[in-house]
Amino acid sequence: MRHIDVHKLSDDATFNRFHRSVLLWCALIIICDGYDLAVAGIALPSIMKDMGVTAQNAGFMVSAALFGMMFGAIFLGTVADRIGRRKAIAICIALFSVFTAAAGLTSDPYTFSAMRFLAGLGIGGVMPNVVAQMTEYSPRKIRATMVTLMFSGYAIGGMLAALVGKGLIESYGWSSVFLAAGVPVLLIPFILNSLPESMPFLIREQRLDELKAIVARMEPGYRADAGDRFALPVKDQAGGAPIGKLFQEGRGFSTVMFWVAFFMCLFMVYALSSWLTKLMAGAGYSLGSALTFVLVLNFGAVIGAVGGGWLADRFHIKYVLIGMYALAAVSITLLGYKVPTAALFILVGLAGASTIGTQIVTYAYAGQFYPMAIRSTGIGWASGVGRSGAILAPIAIGTLVGMALPLEQNFMAIAIPAVIAVVAVSLISHGRSASAARLATASHIHNATGVKSI
């Protein structure tokens, strides 16, 4: 009889075709998700004109999806640890595809907002699940890089919405870009067939033949045997309420600090996304230049995400994050001061790298912090709580803009959350290392059975 340590196999596996497949599927899902999130902003001027809504009502219409994302991240992140991650991801894709397309068929702001709220459930719910999936199936030495590479699909989805949106709206009207968002629903059968299920879920459900097939693809050197036994470490046995387990085994304070970091980072991301163009135009830059700053912000985000992931695989991810949040505080503050245009573009790129990019690395850290069995729950709650920062940011900074404060004070207000996030991440406890936990588990199995784990 062999006792198989799937954690160790996953950690020590060499990157192969199986890992590439998981990365591509998860990245494709995130690209679709990013398109759905960005499409409302691309079409908003046309929607306002067609429906005859005020700017205030238009803001509510956009925020409807953010509210949905908050509830979706919490509920669908938690439910995934109960029904299986693959099924939860399929539900999320169905939600954001069908209801974004449905929003394109509406003719009044209230029905539109309701459809966007329901789409937001899927947009928000898919994030913790694909992060958990990518974290679980990535070799430890390149884990952060793979998660951040996957999450860069958001920027690709946003750029796709901008590129496709302009042509479609001019030719077919704003409804067309929403109807195009329904296409990903066709991917669901392929995703259910190709994406592996979570290993702790398969062990709990005793679907061991399916688990053996996954392990053989993940580690080609593995040869299945009828006597193979798969055991979960104590920390990965999600009996009882998964939410309660976020606060057990010394995780409680760190869980709250993750929530604070997510809130602060998403506040900065949405403050810049919502108001950078307006602030730069108000500072005397032409609208064309101000829009270019948004492109530079997103380009910086990709560099920050991939670069941050690369650094996190070479140094401790916690300290990489502290440095990235500190960079956000400095770069955003400096945006409020007069500097040469070239320097300003660099600062905007750094701001994108250290806000949107940092948010992606923060997801990767949360994915590594929580045990496999409650990973979707942990990331889902952090993301859901953080969404309240995304909802608050456009309103809070909009209020400051309305007060006609000096430019530097507006950017300082956006930068303050970065300082709070530095403190929050600094206070997250390392806990036992993964290797120590594995050694303890292996020792426990050996003592109980006399058979060494492999």
d(CA 444, CA 264): 40
Q: Which residue has the tokens 């030719």?
A: 171
Helices (H) and strands (E) in the chain, counts: 19, 2
At residue 434, does pLDDT exceed 50?
Answer: no
Q: Which residue has the tokens 């409680």?
A: 252
pLDDT tens digits along 351-361 = 988 988 898 88
Q: Classify each residue of 143-166 as buried b or exposed e, where b means 16 or more C-beta atoms within 10 Å of its C-beta.
A: bbbbbbbbbbbbbbbbbbbbebbe
Nearest to 22 by CA among 144, 142, 145, 134: 134
- Other Cβ atoms within 10 Å of 435 Cβ, number: 11
**Cα dist from 194 to 25, 98, 137, 165, whole Å:** 8, 22, 14, 30
Q: Which residue has the tokens 């997510």?
A: 262
pLDDT tens digits along 126-144 = 888 888 888 888 888 888 8
Q: Rounded to the nearest 10 degrees, how much is the dihedral formed by the CA atoms of 321, 326, 332, 336? A: 180
At residue 441, does pLDDT exceed 60?
Answer: no
In this structure, what token pair is assigned to residue 45?
């001027």
Q: Which of 4-13, 76-85, 335-344, 408-417 has the lowest mean pLDDT?
A: 4-13
Q: What is the pTM of this model?
A: 0.73
Q: Are 289 and 412 in contact (CB under 8 A)?
A: no
Domain 2-195+242-434 -> CATH class: mainly alpha
At residue 238, does pLDDT exceed 70?
Answer: no
Q: Are 101 and 178 in contact (CB under 8 A)?
A: yes
- Would you place residue 1 in the very low, low, confident or very high pLDDT band (cuts 50, 70, 90)? low
Helix (H, G, I), strand (E, B) or coil at 229: strand
Provide mean pLDDT across the span 42-59. 74
Q: Which residue has the tokens 């709580």?
A: 385
CB-neighbour burial class of residue 104 (10 A; exposed 0-12, middle 13-18, buried 19+): buried
Provide mean pLDDT across the span 346-354. 90
**Residue 116 bridge partners (DSSP):** none
- Would you place residue 158 in the very low, low, confident or very high pLDDT band (cuts 50, 70, 90)? confident
% of the chain residues with pLDDT over 70: 85
For the chain, what is the radius of gyration of the CA atoms?
Answer: 22
% of the chain residues with pLDDT over 90: 22
- Please provide the distance, in angstroms rounded to a whole number, between the alpha carbons at the two ends of the chain: 11
Q: Which residue has the tokens 């580690």?
A: 219
Provide mean pLDDT across the span 345-373. 86
pLDDT tens digits along 273-305 = 767 766 776 667 665 565 577 778 878 888 888
In this structure, what token pair is assigned to residue 157?
């989805």
Residue 246, pLDDT score: 79
Residue 450, pLDDT score: 32
Provide mean pLDDT across the span 217-236. 68
Q: Are 379 and 132 in contact (CB under 8 A)?
A: yes
Residue 321, pLDDT score: 92
Residue 274, pLDDT score: 67
CB-neighbour burial class of residue 441 (10 A; exposed 0-12, middle 13-18, buried 19+): buried
Q: Which of 89-98, 270-279, 332-341, 416-425 has the lowest mean pLDDT?
A: 270-279
Task: Report phi then psi at 4, rounded to 5.
Answer: -95, 125
Domain coordinates in residue numbering, the chain: 2-195+242-434
Residue 186, pLDDT score: 93
Residue 452, pLDDT score: 30
In this structure, what token pair is assigned to residue 313?
């695989």
Better-scored residue on pLDDT, 89 or 383? 89
Provide mean pLDDT across the span 304-329. 90
- Would you place residue 21 in the very low, low, confident or very high pLDDT band (cuts 50, 70, 90)? very high
d(CA 431, CA 440): 14
Element (H, E) at 246: none
When the pLDDT of each residue in the chain is averaged and rounded to a whole number, the result is: 80
- Would you place residue 221 in the very low, low, confident or very high pLDDT band (cuts 50, 70, 90)? confident
Provide mean pLDDT across the span 396-423. 84
At residue 454, does pLDDT exceed 80?
Answer: no
